[in-house]
Structure 1
Amino acid sequence: MERLAGRIMLLSGWRRALLAMLAGAVATLALAPFNIPAVGFLSFPVLVWLIDGASGEPGRSALRRAFPAFRIGWCFGFGYFVGGLWWLGSALLVDGPEFAWALPLAVVGLPAVLAIYHGLGCLLARLAWSGGPWRLLALAAGLSAAEVARGTLFTGFPWNEIGVMAVPVPLLMQVLALVGLHAMTLLAIFVFSLPALVVGRRRGRGTVVVLGLVLVAAQVGYGAWRLAAPPLPPVDGVALRIVQPNVLQGQKWDPAEAERIFSRLLELTDAAAPADAPAAPRRLVIWPESAFPFILTDRPDAVGALAQTLRPGDTLLAGATRVEEAEGELPRFYNAIYAIGEDGVVEDAADKIHLVPFGEYLPYQALLESWGFSQVAKLPGGFSAGARRRVIDVDGSPGFLPVICYEAIFQDELVPLPDGERPGFILNVTNDAWYGRTPGPYQHQRQAMLTAVALGLPLVRAANTGISVVTDAQGRPQAGLALGEGGTVDAALPGAGDETPFARFGNVPFAVLWGVAALASLAAARRRSRDTA
Structure 2
Amino acid sequence: MKLSVLTGWRRHGLAALLGLFSAGMFPPFGITPLLLLYGALYWMVAPQAGAKHGLRTVFATAWWFFLGQFTSGLYWIANALLIPPADFLWLLPLAVVAIPAGLALFPAIILTLWSRIEGRSALGFAVALMLAELARGHLLTGFPWNLAGYAFPHILALQQLASVGGAYLLSFLAILLGVLPAALDRRAMAAWVLLLALPLAWGSWRLEQTVVASTDTMIRIIQPNIPQHQKWDPALQAANFRDHVALSRRPSSKPLAAVIWGETATGYPVEIVEDARRAATAAVPPGGSLITGTIRYLTRDRPPTVTNGMVVLDQDGSLLGAFDKFHLVPFGEYVPGRRWLPLPAVAADGLDFTAGTGPRTLRVPGLPAFAPLICYEVIFPGAVIDEADRPSWLLNLTNDGWYGYSTGPFQHFHITALRAIEEGMPMVRVANTGISGMVDPLGRTLAKIGLSERGILDLDLPKALESPTFYGRYRDLPLALALFAAMAIVACRLYRRHQREEK
TM-score range relative to shorter protein: over 0.9
Asked if the contact 1:284/1:315 (under 8 Å) is kept, the reply is: yes
Structure 1 position 223, deviation (Å): 1.2
Structure 1 position 260, deviation (Å): 0.4
Which residue is equivalent to 2:468?
499
Asked if the contact 1:140/1:187 (under 8 Å) is kept, the reply is: no
Asked if the contact 2:344/2:351 (under 8 Å) is kept, the reply is: no
Structure 1 position 197, deviation (Å): 2.5
Tell me: CA distance 1:130–1:120, structure 2 relative to 1, closer, same or farther (3 Å): closer
- Quick one: distance in 2 between partners of 1:231 and 1:287? 29
Task: Give runs of aligned pairs for residues 226-237 of structure 1, distance below 5 A.
Answer: 226-236=206-216
Which residue is equivalent to 1:404?
374
Which residue is equivalent to 1:201?
none
Asked if the contact 1:430/1:464 (under 8 Å) is kept, the reply is: yes
Query: Of residues 105, 122, 126 in structure 1, which corresponds to 2:111?
Result: 122
In the alignment, structure 1 residue 249 sits paired with structure 2 residue 222: no
Structure 1 position 438, deviation (Å): 0.3
In the alignment, structure 1 residue 431 sits paired with structure 2 residue 399: yes
Which residue is equivalent to 2:359?
389
- Quick one: distance in 1 between partners of 2:213 and 2:86? 51
Which residue is equivalent to 1:345?
318
- Quick one: distance in 2 between partners of 1:294 and 1:93? 24
Structure 1 position 261, deviation (Å): 0.4
Query: Of residues 333, 354, 361 in structure 1, which corresponds to 2:334?
Result: 361
Task: Give runs of aligned pairs for residues 101-500 of structure 1, distance below 5 A.
Answer: 101-129=90-118, 131=120, 135-198=121-184, 205-236=185-216, 238-273=217-252, 277=253, 279-280=254-255, 282-326=256-300, 329-369=302-342, 373-379=343-349, 381-414=351-384, 417-497=385-465, 498-500=467-469
- Quick one: distance in 2 between partners of 1:17 and 1:404? 39
Tell me: CA distance 1:97–1:462, structure 2 relative to 1, closer, same or farther (3 Å): closer
Spell out, residue by residue over 1:286-324, the C-alpha distance to the aligned partner (whole angstroms, 9 max, x if none).
Answer: 100000111112322222222233222221111111111
- Quick one: distance in 2 between partners of 1:166 and 1:54? 31
Asked if the contact 2:249/2:282 (under 8 Å) is kept, the reply is: no
Asked if the contact 1:128/1:138 (under 8 Å) is kept, the reply is: no
Q: Kindly provide the amino acid, as one letter, of the partner of residue 423 in structure 1.
A: P
- Quick one: distance in 1 between partners of 2:119 and 2:278? 70
Structure 1 position 191, deviation (Å): 1.4
Spell out, residue by residue over 1:334-379, the C-alpha distance to the aligned partner (whole angstroms, 9 max, x if none).
Answer: 111111112222211011000001110111112211xxx2211244
Asked if the contact 2:261/2:291 (under 8 Å) is kept, the reply is: yes
Moved over 4 A (4+): none
- Quick one: distance in 2 between partners of 1:78 and 1:40? 16
Q: What secondary structure does 1:484 align onto?
A: coil
Stretch deviating more after TM superposition (384-393 or 259-268): 384-393
- Quick one: distance in 2 between partners of 1:19 and 1:222? 38
Asked if the contact 1:76/1:118 (under 8 Å) is kept, the reply is: no
- Quick one: distance in 2 between partners of 1:167 and 1:461? 17
- Quick one: distance in 2 between partners of 1:374 and 1:35? 36
Asked if the contact 1:428/1:461 (under 8 Å) is kept, the reply is: yes
Which residue is equivalent to 2:486?
517
Asked if the contact 1:121/1:139 (under 8 Å) is kept, the reply is: no
Which residue is equivalent to 1:44?
38
Structure 1 position 432, deviation (Å): 0.2
Q: What secondary structure does 1:353 align onto?
A: coil
Structure 1 position 167, deviation (Å): 4.7
Structure 1 position 511, deviation (Å): 0.9
Asked if the contact 2:49/2:119 (under 8 Å) is kept, the reply is: no
- Quick one: distance in 1 between partners of 2:154 and 2:9? 33
- Quick one: distance in 1 between partners of 2:159 and 2:62? 27
- Quick one: distance in 2 between partners of 1:380 and 1:164? 34
Asked if the contact 1:128/1:522 (under 8 Å) is kept, the reply is: no
- Quick one: distance in 2 between partners of 1:124 and 1:405? 35
- Quick one: distance in 1 between partners of 2:33 and 2:278? 54
CA RMSD of aligned residues (A): 1.7
Asked if the contact 1:479/1:490 (under 8 Å) is kept, the reply is: no
Q: TM-score, normalising length from structure 1?
A: 0.91
Asked if the contact 1:140/1:517 (under 8 Å) is kept, the reply is: no
- Quick one: distance in 1 between partners of 2:172 and 2:283? 50
Tell me: CA distance 1:345–1:300, structure 2 relative to 1, closer, same or farther (3 Å): same
Q: Kindly provide the amino acid, as one letter, of the partner of residue 118 in structure 1.
A: P
Asked if the contact 2:321/2:364 (under 8 Å) is kept, the reply is: no
Unaligned runs of 5+ in 1: 59-63, 199-204
- Quick one: distance in 1 between partners of 2:421 and 2:30? 18
Tell me: CA distance 1:166–1:480, structure 2 relative to 1, closer, same or farther (3 Å): closer
Stretch deviating more after TM superposition (389-398 or 444-453): 389-398
- Quick one: distance in 1 between partners of 2:475 and 2:371? 17
Which residue is equivalent to 1:91?
80
Q: TM-score, normalising length from structure 2?
A: 0.96
Asked if the contact 2:158/2:203 (under 8 Å) is kept, the reply is: yes
Structure 1 position 329, deviation (Å): 4.4
- Quick one: distance in 2 between partners of 1:361 and 1:73? 31
Which residue is equivalent to 2:8?
13
Q: What secondary structure does 1:394 align onto?
A: coil
Q: What secondary structure does 1:469 align onto?
A: strand
Q: What secondary structure does 2:293 align onto?
A: strand
Aligned residues: 501
- Quick one: distance in 2 between partners of 1:295 and 1:256? 17
- Quick one: distance in 1 between partners of 2:159 and 2:446? 16
Identity, in percent, stands at: 35
Structure 1 position 388, deviation (Å): 2.9
Structure 1 position 392, deviation (Å): 0.3
Q: Kindly provide the amino acid, as one letter, of the partner of residue 354 in structure 2.
A: S
Asked if the contact 1:55/1:68 (under 8 Å) is kept, the reply is: no
Structure 1 position 412, deviation (Å): 3.1
Tell me: CA distance 1:424–1:410, structure 2 relative to 1, closer, same or farther (3 Å): same
Structure 1 position 67, deviation (Å): 3.8
In the alignment, structure 1 residue 31 sits paired with structure 2 residue 44: no
